[in-house]
Amino acid sequence: MHIGHNNPQVDYQLNGTTLRKSAQEKDLGILVSSSLKPSAHVAQVAAKANSHLGIIKRNFTVLSKEVLVPLYLSFVHPSLDYGAQCWSPYLTRDIQTLEKIQRRATRLVPNIKHMPYENICKKLGLQTLQERRVGGT
């Protein structure tokens, strides 16, 4: 993988074999692109978290606060939080993509879904994902 705008993108060889070039690589579960933007990783994380959230939604008919919060914190939230110190999104669209998943999860509790997102998070004892990344907790 070649990183940087002024990189000459030389072909590297190992024992006479030319190594293949790659636009992105996965290391320790984090997708790193040659542009170092986290967008590809965010898309992958969002897909995985949405899948987990869909499973919860399909398998539980009643999602009260007492049921949803432990399920969300056990199955969905770790996907959104894993390695965030390395790939913390800075593009608004990436931040919104991740926040949209937690917003969707919090709206599954029927008696509070009419409230603003930040208020719902406080009511459920959650922080917004942006607050977690900035605060470091």
Q: What angle do CA 33, 39, 45 make, to 5 degrees?
A: 105
- Provide block-wise average pLDDT over 10 residues at a time, the chain (137 residues): 80 90 86 85 93 94 90 92 81 91 91 88 89 71
Question: Which positions ≥6 away from 37 have C-beta within 8 Å?
Answer: 91
Instruction: Kindly tell me the sign of the dihedral angle through the C-alpha atoms of 49, 51, 54, 58.
Output: negative
d(CA 128, CA 113): 16
Query: For position 134, what pLDDT does the model report?
Result: 78
What's the pTM value of the predicted model, to 2 decimals?
Answer: 0.79
